[in-house]
Structure 1
Amino acid sequence: MHHAAFSHATRVRSLAHAIASAFLACGLADASIAHANESVVRGQLQRPGSATSRPVDLSSAGTTRGGPTVVVQNCSDLGPGSLRDAYANSFDGLTIDLGQLNCSTITLANGALVSANNAGYVTLKGPAGGVLIIDANHASRAIIHRGTRIGLRDLVVRNGFSSNDTGGGCILSDGDVALSDSRVSGCEVSTTGSTPALGGAIHSIGVAFVISSQVVDNRAHAAAANADGGGVHAQYVITAHQSTISGNTTSGDGSHYARGGGAYGREGMRIDSCTMSGNKADAGGAAFIGTASFYNSSFTNSTVSGNSADGAGGGILTHYKIRIDNSTIVGNSAYFDFGAGLYLAAGNAQLHSTIIAGNTTGGGLNAADIGGHAGAAISGDHNLVIASTLALPPGTLSQEPMLGPLQDNGGGVLTMALLPGSPAIDAGDNPRNLYEDGRGYECPPTGGCTEFERTVGAATDIGAFEFGAPNHIFDDSFETESLRDQG
């Protein structure tokens, strides 16, 4: 190991790259976006082959817009100076600052917090470290946003409940939802009769951004209708910078769909530097990319493990083409006899430097990593796949990858370490020019950042974990505030 300067500007570029890489794949945004601005990344989502684009604000999640700030004065649920009062009078560009509060929890005893109509883009900003909890006490949703985007920064939102067809157990937004350094947990949508259940934690009519955040232990259940998105339900789901979607569930009566235990993207997903684990559904245990998909989807530098489906696709099920780079999809299970790791219900898959192995059906008895429709094509290079019903590119490795369990190996998410002697070591590639592996980097308050480099040794390793990283310790006197503060 050696020491080097890991500058403030380098940290900002790293975040910009992490967010930009979520959009650059497969024609989602022009490559020049990655270099347009180190703190704000903007672009357009475009349907492949179409001359028309749908403009989408691709700003880093949680970044305020430079407008006015209202400071919440107390922890009461009603009255002047309260969060409820500030949010009810919110408007476009407003930041509501809760950073001065000394309490640990704001308990909502008067229903969900509801924004003003046509509120635009509003940010709720908590104290550093995410120590403030907004608790809906299982009595209502926590937040209803009637605007273009609600940003949550350094906050915990938990224990929300909804029983109607608009869903969103904790957060319902008419536009986007942008989480940054935040956590949404213990939320539920549970419906009766023919009412669908959408988004156990979050239902975003627009895009759901999950940046350095966690969506964990949420549930969407429908008695006699479809249940979609145990964690997140959105038009498009985007994650970046060491996020976790874990322990979420969709369920139903067995005669309707229960899809996307972790996340359901109606039109696509861009999953970057994320771990999806322990999620469950009938189809797409971790992720379901919907039948309305028009945009190319991708997984990059991510780990998908320990998810399950009572039907197809214990890990990922997609209805449109997908690209997967430098990712590990291992240890997922499904009832169907093939495609427990990746199931292509429609479209093709492009795989690069990715491990898809150890996924099973038949109660763990049958190896079943990749499967899909008869016309599906798999392209790419530098991969390790053991069991596929679809033809794989020449040169694909098929040995046991030799991985450790899903655990804390440093960085911001759980990963599966390559063990000494793994055939994946130095056998991969880095087509997206990633700076770090799936763990990113750590910057403790005491100073001295550890970066888990994407390439150590002769070549990049296959999968989301780089054996031998960290190979550098960066230590200087810069402040260690969150990268998300650089917007």
Structure 2
Amino acid sequence: MNADASSAADTITFTRPGTVTLTQGQLEISRTSGPVTIDGGGNAVAVSGGGTSRVFEVDGGVTATLTGLTIENGNAVSSGGGGGVFVAGGMATITDATITDNTAGGTGGGGGVLVGGGMATITDTTLTDNTAGNGGGGGVAVDGGTATITDTTLTSNTAGDGGGVDDVSGAVAITGSTLADNHADNGYGGGVEVENGTVTITDTTITGNTANYGGGVDDFAGATITDSTVTGNTASSDGSGVLCQLSFPGDSMDIAGSIVSGNTGGKDLSDSEGFFGFTDGGYNLFGTAVGGTATGDVSSDTPGLAPLGDYGGPTRTMAILPGSPALDAGNPADSSPDQRGVFVQNQTRDIGAFESRGFTLTPAASGTPQSAPVGTAFAQPLAVAVAADDPGLTDLSGGVVMFAAPATGATAALSATSVTLTSTDSASVTATANGAVGSYRATASAGGNPAYTAAFHLTNDNDEAPSLVVTTTADIVDPTDGLTSLREALTYADTFTTGTPTITFDPTVFDGAQMPIILGGTQLEITNTTVPVTIDGTANGAAGVTVSGSDTSRVFQVDGGVTTALTGLTIEDGDATSGGGVYVAGTVTITDGTITGNTASFSGGGVEVLSGGAATITDSTITGNITDDTGGGVEVDGGSVTITGSTLSDNHADNGEGGGVCVFGGSATITDTTITNNTADDGGGVDVELGGAWSRSPTPSLATPPVMTVVACASTVGRPQSPTAPSPATPPAATAAACTTTSG
């Protein structure tokens, strides 16, 4: 192809789009008198070798430009190389072109382009699915000339060595380009092979390439890799990302500001095959097995990159995700743009070929502001939506959001400090207020980077969350101390309108060695008439609980209409007019308890059961209680009591009746119970009067020795109901027959 013989520039254009299939061999550009341009009009025209010949040859001394063309189906099987384009010695510029499905057979190189001399400039071009057989450079091979490859994509090309690019000899500069999914079958350098020349790789992404050695780059002679990303490549033998095989003094391989991490098969960067190692220029992100030691080097096997995609710019790139160790970790002195032409953001360059524009983190409105009582969880999670500021980056899966709260003072415990994003691009944690009152700020950030942060404004209130678990032996009501006293738990239980509130005790506090709960001069009053309330001193592993009136107040009062159960409690040292330990106007069940050391100035030293009240006492001990009048242990004053499997001992009615039990106008059923060593003026064990009734079981007999033992029972006359009630005109006779002392 000579165009014309003048020295003026010639441009060949096409009148209509379509495919030109060569039938008479290659198109040879041989005109040396002036530059020649072949313009396909933006890939509207394809020139095909038809699978039988090379497409273009640029002869020595020629200046040629191929632009806007698709160069396809060239075949240089018999002509040594350059299936699509062979630059034999001139100056060739290939721009805005697609070079695809070309073949260089045999040992010929450059399935897409072979530079055999002269200079080739390849810009804004895609080389894909080209093959160099057993030769080198499925996409581009350089053997004696120079090649400058800029803003170009080389993908899915195959060769024996250098699936994407093979530098046999000469100089190659690759800038702003992407080499992806190229293959060196049974050979070296899936992406780039450097045999004897020099290669400079800048702002370039090399990913998905495969080879036996050097999945991304294999270097025998000398390469410089700067501000580039080498990840996701595979080597079956060694050097999954980069293999350095320098063999001669003076050869050097320099890597700076680049990612060489996340590759598969051997170390990400290996120099085990050569005699001279690489030079670490610093600010690199290497896999942990590499362990770079220069200034600014970072080690991680997880580079934190999005899949290869269109995130702006002329070529596909791998965007940086939130939490990537490459984010803002590059050389502070490097102000050059990235592969897409994006300049430094946030003052410091990122490591690799991609400069992130950053991320916007938006907290969920429900999570801020909010407050919670000290020691409790906040009602709403701390949730944040994350969006990238780079175009096309809509899926941040694999990115990391870091959550943080103040280390001291009012703060919150977080359910996690690191959350990996999924396709929802949102992250959340739960927060629990600590014991300090105050307001503070929790944060969510892109991998801990303070430049990309969302804030949650939280307050720890001085109001404790109500609880049924007692965590202190102190008898206090303090909504700011983070503790729950028995009195506070009872107050909370009395608010329930459904369910069965059960008060339990923290077993780490109530472990058997704790001090008793000593009341501060005021009884514990159970008032809930809607649902039954239980106090269980042995639930959840607690070792039992002692509640003391400290001789200044009654211990428990069960109001009329209340149903309650007291289990595993020791009730001691209460003091009142009636019912020093427990005063029952409602219904109470006492199980596995001890009622001891309580006093009453009138009646019921241990327990007083009023008219309308009922007490069931099982497997319990009532001992050492005192009254100045009646019912040293238990006084039944018109109510009812059932005592089973229990012991009443050493109780005293100093000036009255019923040292153990006094039944006055009510009823008592006592089964399998020991009543012993109780004293009174009348009825040391049991006294029944004023229409009261009692029964005991089993009935004593010599044939069947009873379990119950009654000591010193006596018939007595009645007594007034209270210190101020009038005496009956005719004191009634006691209904109890003379008791028989038995033992069993």
TM-score scaled by length of structure 2 = 0.44
Task: Answer yes or no: is 1:369 the counterpart of 2:269.
Answer: yes
Counterpart in the other structure of 1:228: 136
Task: Answer yes or no: is 1:402 the counterpart of 2:277.
Answer: no
Task: Answer yes or no: is 1:272 the counterpart of 2:175.
Answer: yes
Task: Kindly provide the amino acid, as one letter, of the partner of residue 95 in structure 2.
Answer: S
Task: Answer yes or no: is 1:301 the counterpart of 2:224.
Answer: no
- Deviation of 1:137 after TM superposition, in Å, equals 1.3
Aligned partners of 2:8 and 2:208: how far apart in 1? 40
Aligned partners of 1:93 and 1:143: how far apart in 2? 21
Which fold has the larger relative contact order, with Cα–Cα distance below 8 Å and residues 6 or more apart in sequence? Answer: 1
Aligned partners of 2:176 and 2:7: how far apart in 1? 29
Alignment check: 8 A CA contact 1:249 1:261 kept = yes
- Deviation of 1:433 after TM superposition, in Å, equals 4.0
Aligned match for 2:112, one of 173, 182, 201: 201
Aligned partners of 1:378 and 1:262: how far apart in 2? 24
Aligned partners of 1:144 and 1:353: how far apart in 2? 38
Aligned partners of 1:376 and 1:233: how far apart in 2? 25
Task: Kindly provide the amino acid, as one letter, of the partner of residue 147 in structure 1.
Answer: G
Counterpart in the other structure of 1:483: none
Task: Answer yes or no: is 1:425 the counterpart of 2:327.
Answer: yes
Aligned partners of 1:389 and 1:121: how far apart in 2? 52
Alignment check: 8 A CA contact 1:326 1:430 kept = no
Counterpart in the other structure of 2:195: 290
Alignment check: 8 A CA contact 1:358 1:367 kept = no
Aligned partners of 1:371 and 1:130: how far apart in 2? 42
Counterpart in the other structure of 1:126: 39
Aligned match for 2:158, one of 249, 254, 271: 249
Aligned partners of 1:422 and 1:92: how far apart in 2? 58
Q: 3-state SS of the aligned residue for 1:268?
A: strand
- Deviation of 1:182 after TM superposition, in Å, equals 1.3
Paired residues, number: 349
Aligned partners of 1:287 and 1:351: how far apart in 2? 15
Aligned match for 2:124, one of 207, 212, 226: 212
Task: Kindly provide the amino acid, as one letter, of the partner of residue 316 in structure 2.
Answer: L
Aligned partners of 2:7 and 2:297: how far apart in 1? 50
Alignment check: 8 A CA contact 2:66 2:94 kept = yes
- Deviation of 1:459 after TM superposition, in Å, equals 0.7
Taking structure 1 as reference, are residues 208 and 100 closer, same or farther at Cα in structure 2, changes over 3 Å only? Answer: closer
Taking structure 1 as reference, are residues 112 and 100 closer, same or farther at Cα in structure 2, changes over 3 Å only? Answer: closer
Aligned partners of 2:179 and 2:145: how far apart in 1? 16
- Deviation of 1:408 after TM superposition, in Å, equals 1.3
Whichever of the two has the greater Rg, that structure is 2
Counterpart in the other structure of 1:37: none
Taking structure 1 as reference, are residues 139 and 414 closer, same or farther at Cα in structure 2, changes over 3 Å only? Answer: same
- Deviation of 1:320 after TM superposition, in Å, equals 2.4
Task: Kindly provide the amino acid, as one letter, of the partner of residue 115 in structure 1.
Answer: I
Aligned partners of 2:59 and 2:42: how far apart in 1? 27
Higher mean alpha-carbon deviation, 406-415 vs 106-115, is at 106-115
1:171-186 matches, within 5 Å, as 171-175=85-89, 176-186=91-101
Taking structure 1 as reference, are residues 316 and 239 closer, same or farther at Cα in structure 2, changes over 3 Å only? Answer: same
- Deviation of 1:241 after TM superposition, in Å, equals 4.1
Q: 3-state SS of the aligned residue for 1:288?
A: strand
Taking structure 1 as reference, are residues 314 and 177 closer, same or farther at Cα in structure 2, changes over 3 Å only? Answer: farther
Task: Answer yes or no: is 1:336 the counterpart of 2:249.
Answer: no
Alignment check: 8 A CA contact 1:114 1:145 kept = yes
Aligned partners of 2:201 and 2:57: how far apart in 1? 29
Alignment check: 8 A CA contact 1:239 1:273 kept = no
- Deviation of 1:466 after TM superposition, in Å, equals 1.0
Task: Answer yes or no: is 1:415 the counterpart of 2:287.
Answer: no
Alignment check: 8 A CA contact 1:90 1:122 kept = no
Counterpart in the other structure of 2:346: 457
Alignment check: 8 A CA contact 2:103 2:132 kept = yes
Taking structure 1 as reference, are residues 398 and 162 closer, same or farther at Cα in structure 2, changes over 3 Å only? Answer: same
Aligned match for 1:112, one of 12, 18, 26: 26
**1:33-70 deviation per Cα after TM superposition (whole angstroms, max 9, x unaligned):** xxxxxxxxxxxxxxxxxxxxxxxxxxxxxxxxxxxxxx
Q: 3-state SS of the aligned residue for 2:170?
A: coil
Task: Kindly provide the amino acid, as one letter, of the partner of residue 276 in structure 1.
Answer: L
Aligned partners of 1:120 and 1:230: how far apart in 2? 32
Q: 3-state SS of the aligned residue for 2:323?
A: coil
Q: Mark the runs of 5 or more structure 1 residues left unpaired by the alignment.
A: 1-86, 251-257, 441-452, 474-487
Q: 3-state SS of the aligned residue for 2:299?
A: coil
Q: 3-state SS of the aligned residue for 1:404?
A: strand
Counterpart in the other structure of 1:466: 355
Alignment check: 8 A CA contact 2:334 2:349 kept = no
Alignment check: 8 A CA contact 1:104 1:131 kept = yes
Aligned partners of 2:286 and 2:26: how far apart in 1? 47
Taking structure 1 as reference, are residues 432 and 243 closer, same or farther at Cα in structure 2, changes over 3 Å only? Answer: farther
Aligned partners of 1:95 and 1:301: how far apart in 2? 34
Aligned match for 1:260, one of 162, 168, 171: 162
Task: Kindly provide the amino acid, as one letter, of the partner of residue 137 in structure 2.
Answer: G
- Deviation of 1:322 after TM superposition, in Å, equals 2.3
- Deviation of 1:303 after TM superposition, in Å, equals 0.3
Alignment check: 8 A CA contact 1:90 1:115 kept = no
Aligned partners of 1:105 and 1:462: how far apart in 2? 43
Alignment check: 8 A CA contact 2:37 2:66 kept = yes
Taking structure 1 as reference, are residues 460 and 121 closer, same or farther at Cα in structure 2, changes over 3 Å only? Answer: farther
- Deviation of 1:239 after TM superposition, in Å, equals 3.9
TM-score scaled by length of structure 1 = 0.66
- Deviation of 1:392 after TM superposition, in Å, equals 4.2
Task: Kindly provide the amino acid, as one letter, of the partner of residue 260 in structure 1.
Answer: G
- Deviation of 1:210 after TM superposition, in Å, equals 1.3
Taking structure 1 as reference, are residues 106 and 179 closer, same or farther at Cα in structure 2, changes over 3 Å only? Answer: same
Aligned partners of 1:438 and 1:171: how far apart in 2? 26
Taking structure 1 as reference, are residues 464 and 200 closer, same or farther at Cα in structure 2, changes over 3 Å only? Answer: same
Alignment check: 8 A CA contact 1:179 1:209 kept = yes
Q: Mark the runs of 5 or more structure 2 residues left unpaired by the alignment.
A: 359-387, 392-744
- Deviation of 1:439 after TM superposition, in Å, equals 1.7
Aligned partners of 2:267 and 2:138: how far apart in 1? 26
Alignment check: 8 A CA contact 1:213 1:242 kept = yes
Aligned partners of 1:143 and 1:170: how far apart in 2? 6
Counterpart in the other structure of 2:654: none
Aligned partners of 2:333 and 2:115: how far apart in 1? 31
- Deviation of 1:398 after TM superposition, in Å, equals 0.8
**1:350-395 deviation per Cα after TM superposition (whole angstroms, max 9, x unaligned):** 222111001111xxxx553343424313221111001455864254
**1:316-358 deviation per Cα after TM superposition (whole angstroms, max 9, x unaligned):** 1122232221110001111223x22111111333222111001
Aligned partners of 1:418 and 1:134: how far apart in 2? 39
Alignment check: 8 A CA contact 1:267 1:290 kept = no
Percent of aligned positions that are identical:
28
- Deviation of 1:397 after TM superposition, in Å, equals 0.5
Task: Answer yes or no: is 1:135 the counterpart of 2:48.
Answer: yes
Task: Kindly provide the amino acid, as one letter, of the partner of residue 210 in structure 2.
Answer: S
Aligned partners of 1:320 and 1:430: how far apart in 2? 30
Counterpart in the other structure of 1:146: 59
Task: Answer yes or no: is 1:167 the counterpart of 2:114.
Answer: no
Alignment check: 8 A CA contact 2:255 2:278 kept = no
Task: Kindly provide the amino acid, as one letter, of the partner of residue 115 in structure 2.
Answer: S
Aligned partners of 1:391 and 1:420: how far apart in 2? 23
Alignment check: 8 A CA contact 2:280 2:294 kept = yes
Counterpart in the other structure of 2:615: none
Aligned partners of 1:260 and 1:407: how far apart in 2? 23
Taking structure 1 as reference, are residues 429 and 357 closer, same or farther at Cα in structure 2, changes over 3 Å only? Answer: same
Alignment check: 8 A CA contact 2:216 2:242 kept = yes
